[in-house]
Structure 1
Amino acid sequence: MPKSMNPLQLVADRWQPSAQVVRRAAFACVVMGVVIVVTGGAVRLTQSGLGCPTWPTCTEDSLTPTPAMGINGVIEFTNRMLTYVLCAVVGVAIIAARARSPRRRDLTRLGWAQFWIVAGNGIIGGITVLTGLNPYIVAAHFLAATSLLTVAVIMWLRASEGDDEPRDLVPRPVRQLGWVLAVAAALLIVAGTVVTGSGKHAGDAKKDVHRIPLSYREVTQLHVDFVFVVLGLTVALWFVLRALKAPAGPRRRVVELFVVLMLQGVVGYVQYFTDSPEVIVGVHMLGSCLVWIAVLRVVLSLRDRGELVALPAQTATDTTSPLATAGR
């Protein structure tokens, strides 16, 4: 496509957003990534997984839910519509990253990666409905949403950094310990999907939904074991950083992760000993997002990529941008 015909280039020719605007647009993607996970959980916890019994329409004859479908149809359809809100937020982030000068190709790629993950996960969501809430497809749907959150967080954090080659702030073995922590946390999340798939919240009270044929108590114990592994690695990383007199940033990120893990642990134990009430399960899903965000912040804090290159002059259009006044 000729440069003059590229709509993103046309926007870039007329609007030069500040680094702060790009960061806020990227942060909005993080927020929406969390929202889509939590609202997806709400669909399951309110037994609305088949509130719209088919896909892409809500029924065979209607795009939207009918009055006879009740609140479950409304909840499921609302969750579907949030996908379009998410696409709009990601679109704004892509435009802001593309219009930024000097151009940051990595940020634009991360924005487009989110778009394609959203599109792919929309298809997975449709398959989830068409297969009657198959627990393995439901787990894949959640993990795809977590992948979206991962890319959104990376884009948000990269928007605050420069483009220098990564420089280790700690010795290489310590960075490797950070990656081990990230892998353990990822396995913790995967184990959580197995707990959900074998538990009582099938997503639809009107149908005998297939569950993963594993002992709920045993897979819950496995999930708890991973919690202790992640917690142990977090404590170990903090002691190593302290002994090495590492910069304050990485140490602060590890403390933040420890606090989030402890709070999530409390929620998890309350959930287990109260037989998984819906509200507590929903809070636990929110906590899983916050834990993963905190883990990514720890890993990326162990290296430095220099300072952002500032614009030589701020354009007047930036101050009038809707994102210029948005909260971070």
Structure 2
Amino acid sequence: MPNTLNPLELIARRWQPSAAFVRRAALAAVVMAVIIVVTGGAVRLSQSGLGCSTWPKCTPDSLTPTAAMGINGLIEFGNRMLTYVLCAVIGLFIIAARARHPRRRALTRLGWAQFWIVMSNAIIGGITVLTGLNPYIVSAHFLASTALLTVAVVTWKRAGEGDEEPRDLVARPVRQLAWLLVAASGALTALGTVVTGAGPHAGDARKVHRIAVDWQEITQLHVDFVYIVVGLTVALWFTLRAVKAPAAPRRAVLELFVCLAAQGVIGYVQYFTGLPAFVVGLHMLGSALVWICVLRVAMSLRDRGPLPEGEPAAPAAPDAHEVSGPQPAAASSR
């Protein structure tokens, strides 16, 4: 009796994607993760957080928005639909990583981790609606999106390198400085969610509960962490120059500094112009790009060797009837 193959194994026997295709699929997941962050911000900034009044349906009687719900219903429902696009992109990556030879289990595990984060965040999003945009749940929703972005960036990096044991490119104190930068940037992102949860953009035109902190004070703390992150970035760049680190880490730090400078300009513009929605949206995009740059800096300080060389897919096993069927007669001797 023939062995039963799962669908991913069947695809792997018939399709051999290139390493470049796997990397592009991983990059597409990163792009979609950023889009989810930005469109989620657009839902809040357009006061469409309760555009769909319930979950998983849009209304108690309709899966999709009705005409009476107006543009807010369309925006909220459109953001929900993007989740399916994101799942499709992640699914493509999982299939491509599974079909690639030699098989790299670490990549498929990272792909599945992205999928389950998306599923978990969909539930958090539903709870957000059902609790009337509770600011703490909204913050958790954004942080889960950041977790997805983190895993997507790590997957993208791993798709372009080998599976050897990590080899450090710099001394341990330099790596510790880089991880301190990651920790400070993570704290900066978390504080940003508190600023948003206490600020004027509640996500809906009706009165919505806000985080009970002084908005000016929490904003100042957020700015203080910006200075810490910028200071650590500058310190890391000079340290990498002093130890004559490879060019790739130094370039990654410069890219981070440029991104931080642009984000700082946007932050001050939104503060001094009264937090216009469009500028706040740019700031959310900037926060995602800064986090990507920070992760790239940390991962640039080690090397895992070259990508494994591709191997031909294993030949498909013969069917049972081909094995047990009649055999050709031996040729007669002349």
Instruction: Give the TM-score normalised by structure 1.
Output: 0.94
What amino acid is the match of 2:276?
Answer: P
- Tell me: CA distance 1:58–1:306, structure 2 relative to 1, closer, same or farther (3 Å): same
Q: Name the count of aligned residue pairs.
A: 313
Aligned equivalent of 1:259: 258
- Tell me: CA distance 1:65–1:165, structure 2 relative to 1, closer, same or farther (3 Å): same
CA-CA distance at 1:314 after TM superposition: 9.9
What amino acid is the match of 2:163?
Answer: D
Aligned equivalent of 1:33: 33
What amino acid is the match of 2:211?
Answer: I
**Secondary structure of the structure 1 residue equivalent to 2:4:** helix
What amino acid is the match of 1:298?
Answer: V
Aligned counterparts of 1:309 and 1:104: Cα–Cα separation in 2: 9
Aligned counterparts of 2:38 and 2:239: Cα–Cα separation in 1: 34
Matched, 1:146 2:146: yes
Aligned counterparts of 1:16 and 1:178: Cα–Cα separation in 2: 37
What amino acid is the match of 2:148?
Answer: L
Aligned equivalent of 2:14: 14
Matched, 1:176 2:172: no
- 1:140-289 mapped onto 2 (5 Å cutoff): 140-205=140-205, 207-289=206-288
What amino acid is the match of 1:13?
Answer: R
Aligned counterparts of 2:160 and 2:255: Cα–Cα separation in 1: 19
User: Is 1:4–1:10's contact at 8 Å kept on the other side of the alignment?
Assistant: no
CA shift digits 1:278-321 (9 cap, x unpaired): 00000000000000000000000000000011225699xxxxxx
Q: Which runs of 5+ in 2 are unaligned?
A: 315-334
User: Is 1:18–1:314's contact at 8 Å kept on the other side of the alignment?
Assistant: no
| Seq. identity, % | 73
What amino acid is the match of 1:182?
Answer: V
The structure that has the greater radius of gyration is: 2
Aligned counterparts of 1:17 and 1:195: Cα–Cα separation in 2: 44
Aligned equivalent of 2:61: 61
CA-CA distance at 1:14 after TM superposition: 0.5
Aligned counterparts of 1:42 and 1:259: Cα–Cα separation in 2: 25
Aligned counterparts of 2:311 and 2:107: Cα–Cα separation in 1: 20
CA-CA distance at 1:5 after TM superposition: 2.5
**Secondary structure of the structure 2 residue equivalent to 1:5:** coil
After superposing on structure 2, the runs of 4+ consecutive aligned residues of structure 1 that deviate more than 3 Å are 312-315
CA-CA distance at 1:255 after TM superposition: 0.4
What amino acid is the match of 1:198?
Answer: A
User: Is 2:110–2:151's contact at 8 Å kept on the other side of the alignment?
Assistant: yes
**Secondary structure of the structure 2 residue equivalent to 1:4:** coil
CA shift digits 1:151-179 (9 cap, x unpaired): 00000011010000000000011111111
Aligned equivalent of 2:325: none
Aligned counterparts of 2:278 and 2:44: Cα–Cα separation in 1: 12
Aligned equivalent of 2:42: 42
- 1:103-142 mapped onto 2 (5 Å cutoff): 103-142=103-142
CA shift digits 1:188-240 (9 cap, x unpaired): 000000000000000000x2100001111100000001100000000000000
- Tell me: CA distance 1:135–1:226, structure 2 relative to 1, closer, same or farther (3 Å): same
What amino acid is the match of 2:203?
Answer: G
Aligned counterparts of 1:270 and 1:60: Cα–Cα separation in 2: 41
CA-CA distance at 1:273 after TM superposition: 0.5
Instruction: Give the TM-score normalised by structure 2.
Output: 0.92
CA shift digits 1:76-131 (9 cap, x unpaired): 00000000010000000000111111111110000000000000000000000000
CA-based RMSD: 1.3
User: Is 2:12–2:313's contact at 8 Å kept on the other side of the alignment?
Assistant: no
Aligned counterparts of 1:273 and 1:147: Cα–Cα separation in 2: 30
User: Is 2:100–2:310's contact at 8 Å kept on the other side of the alignment?
Assistant: no
User: Is 1:38–1:285's contact at 8 Å kept on the other side of the alignment?
Assistant: yes
Q: Which runs of 5+ in 1 are unaligned?
A: 316-328
Aligned counterparts of 2:153 and 2:187: Cα–Cα separation in 1: 19
CA shift digits 1:36-55 (9 cap, x unpaired): 00000000000000000100
